[in-house]
Structure 1
Amino acid sequence: MAVCWGVVSVGLISSDFTAVLQTLPRSEHQVVAVAARDLSRAKEFAQKHNIPKAYGSYEELAKDPNVEVAYIGTQHPQHKAVVMLCLAAGKAVLCEKPMGVNAAEVREMVAEARSRGLFLMEAIWTRFFPAYEALRSVLAQGTLGDLRVARAEFGKDLTHVPRAVDWAQAGGALLDIGIYCVQFISMVFGGQKPEKISAMGRRHETGVDDTVTVLLQYPGGVHGSFTCSITAQLSNTAFVSGTKGMAQVLDPCWCPTKLVVKGEHKEFPLPSVPKDCNFDNGAGMSYEAKHVRECLRKGKDVEDQGGRQALLGDIGPLPTCSVTVLFRTTSPKRLQGAQISPLHSSLGGRAGLSPRKKNYISQEILQHLST
């Protein structure tokens, strides 16, 4: 039986997700409605993607009885309102990352989903790529020995994207692309809670975080680190090393097709799509779509799906030890007292269930400090 999708918002990411859904068997996935705040744009999108219904408001889509699961592709600050709207209407929800712009928003969404027994998942599509499946298998088999260190980098010039440098639109490196780095480290260390978090970075002239480096110390002296940037080109790779070797996810580490394990190169070609996607390796969205269907049809929690969860569980408390943060800027004290959202906050899977493993992420890991 097909999962019937409703697409909320008609931006580039929604276009890619819709196009990819339509490459999957109609017996498994169907896009039955789309909504935008402008009816003409919704109709244009519907015509382009051959979607039977177009709505000029999100409320109308939420009320559509034919929509089983809503895909939320709106701008970051709108996520909470739309997620809550769809949950209140009894819809399952797949929300683009970041699901919320701060921990409080995510807690509220999670509580709503749990109270209604509804499926709620953040679209951390990276977790579902075959290269990541292979990496999890390597880790589970102990191929790398006892893990010691993990590192991830994601950086590119995004200053031409207005949203990326706009504080009001939840821009900045951490929330937009740092999320991919922290999910990698959280995954390879099995969702352990870090004992200590240190960070330093640079603020962009618009006030958002420009470039950030974070060090996370885990029990037993194991540690992870990452750097993310919206102004600097970085390696865009990730690795984890242990006493018996190293595994490296090659560029682009957030949507990878290549994995190197102890010097052995492995490739994982993406499925073909009939049209070009707006984003790198967009065809890989099919993996998370299939996983949503699997969860809905089998009623399983994402935690049961081979550890592929998009950062499951409660948003845990800050580590009890100190967090060192250095943000220096010559900009005016325009953001004094403001806080960046948590590095990540998420619920994967069916919110009403209690997973065996939890991923704890600092609630307010970084604060803007003015000089």
Structure 2
Amino acid sequence: MASIIASPLRWGICAGGEISNDFVSSLQGHSDSHLVVGIATRSLERSQKFATKFKIPSAYASYEELAQDPNVDVVYIGAINTAHHDLCMLFLNHKKHVLCEKPLALTLRETQDILKTAKKNDVFFMEAMWTRFFPVSAKIRELVSSGQLGDVKSVLINFGIYTPDRERTIKRDYGGGALYDMGVYMVYMTTMIFNGVAPISSITSGVLNDDGVDEMYTTVMRFRNNTMATLSCTITADYPNEVFISGTKGHLKIPGHFWAPTELIWSKTTGELIETFQYPTPESTVEYSYGPLWSGMLYEADAVKQAIDEGKTEHALMPWKETELVASLLEKARLDLGIVWVHQGQSPIVVLA
């Protein structure tokens, strides 16, 4: 059983980019539950700058030093996609609990390696799919599982943000592409709606950029009982970024920014409105790199703390078996698209295609 941590939970931050900035910002003002006690980047100067901004007591010039810090209970990994596997292995093998940003890894094999290591070391581990912990997601699970929508017949999700110059999205050496950067949200939303049940088929078609990663694609999944999910994603245009769930008794719609959802519209099959749910993100006075919606990262941090306090190694809303399922679905889509990973420095990406 994982070690039980008394309040507050002491966080170490791995990498000091914008996503790490927003994660730490979401914890500010919650010192009774969360304390950030260490930061490590690839340079001491950058770590010290980050530490000064957030009043973090320890700043390190290497990730190994953070892994050895006895004051750190859990590490948040906000590094680039290609580094996730090696960093997870580092902290897990130092018996640290870990919350790693999505996508957890770039291949199914790496994902399985991480999960096996977490199990071997008997520590808490979770992929940081923060969407799972928003109140809107909880309401969707409630309405679907209670049968108030009837039988779910189709799921339509679109996710498009025009980002033609963002290197981590357009470069193959960075594990880029719409699929792993953005599409992972759509797959996790789909598996949540279907309660972790795998589709009986999944087919993906799309367009690759000149560097060999996808810039636009659509995945069609077929589930039992004649149910379909259609997921469309691009980095070349702005989409409505909505989720539409159609059941035999009603419909649900997340009208925009579904990855950080604050509104859910419930209607009858005729389109007549039943109820609209509004769930503002936690109040915050600090600045966020990606905007105020990112205060919602506190939801997943609180979920991690609760699970660790209860001595659990995985969270019921993000079980390891579903993390593995999503990794397998992403890999199937990648192979359908013909994306071939290349070796990246000392952190090779396994070439499977």
TM-score (norm 2): 0.89
- 1:153-232 equivalences in 2 (<5 Å): 153-232=158-237
The residue number in structure 2 matching 1:341 is none
The residue number in structure 2 matching 1:354 is none
Q: Measure, in 2, the Cα distance between the counterparts of 1:228 and 1:238.
A: 12
Matched residue type, 1:257: T
Matched residue type, 1:297: D
Aligned residues: 325
Q: Which moved more, 1:154-163 or 1:88-97?
A: 154-163
1:82 maps to which of 76, 80, 87:
87
Matched residue type, 1:273: S
The residue number in structure 2 matching 1:267 is 278
- 1:131, 1:258 within 8 Å by CA — same for their partners in 2? yes
The residue number in structure 2 matching 1:103 is 108
Q: Say if 1:163 and 1:5 are closer, same or farther in 2 by CA, change over 3 A.
A: same
The reply to whether residue 276 of structure 1 matches residue 244 of structure 2 is no
Q: Which moved more, 1:183-192 or 1:54-63?
A: 183-192
The reply to whether residue 23 of structure 1 matches residue 29 of structure 2 is yes
Deviations 1:24-77 (A, max 9, x none): 2x2211000000110000000000000000000000000000000000001000
The residue number in structure 2 matching 1:285 is 297
Q: Say if 1:47 and 1:242 are closer, same or farther in 2 by CA, change over 3 A.
A: same
Q: Following TM superposition, by how much is the alpha carbon of 1:266 offset from its aligned partner in structure 2, in angstroms? A: 1.4
Q: Say if 1:310 and 1:369 are closer, same or farther in 2 by CA, change over 3 A.
A: same
The reply to whether residue 366 of structure 1 matches residue 330 of structure 2 is no
Q: Following TM superposition, by how much is the alpha carbon of 1:312 offset from its aligned partner in structure 2, in angstroms? A: 3.9
1:117 maps to which of 94, 114, 122:
122
Q: Following TM superposition, by how much is the alpha carbon of 1:235 offset from its aligned partner in structure 2, in angstroms? A: 1.4
Q: Say if 1:54 and 1:362 are closer, same or farther in 2 by CA, change over 3 A.
A: closer
Q: Following TM superposition, by how much is the alpha carbon of 1:274 offset from its aligned partner in structure 2, in angstroms? A: 1.7
Q: Measure, in 2, the Cα distance between the counterparts of 1:303 and 1:15.
A: 24
Q: Following TM superposition, by how much is the alpha carbon of 1:198 offset from its aligned partner in structure 2, in angstroms? A: 1.6
Deviations 1:274-333 (A, max 9, x none): 2221124110000000000000001246554xxx326744735xxxxxxxxxxxxxxxxx
- 1:99, 1:106 within 8 Å by CA — same for their partners in 2? yes
Q: Following TM superposition, by how much is the alpha carbon of 1:172 offset from its aligned partner in structure 2, in angstroms? A: 0.2
Q: Measure, in 2, the Cα distance between the counterparts of 1:240 and 1:166.
A: 33
Q: Say if 1:369 and 1:42 are closer, same or farther in 2 by CA, change over 3 A.
A: closer
Q: Measure, in 2, the Cα distance between the counterparts of 1:315 and 1:254.
A: 20
Alignment partner of 2:231: what SS? strand
The share of aligned pairs that are identical, in percent, is 34
Q: Following TM superposition, by how much is the alpha carbon of 1:219 offset from its aligned partner in structure 2, in angstroms? A: 1.1
Matched residue type, 1:2: P
- RMSD between aligned residues: 1.6
Q: Say if 1:148 and 1:187 are closer, same or farther in 2 by CA, change over 3 A.
A: same
Gaps of 5+ in 2: 1-6, 268-272, 340-353
Q: Following TM superposition, by how much is the alpha carbon of 1:89 offset from its aligned partner in structure 2, in angstroms? A: 0.6
Gaps of 5+ in 1: 317-343, 346-359
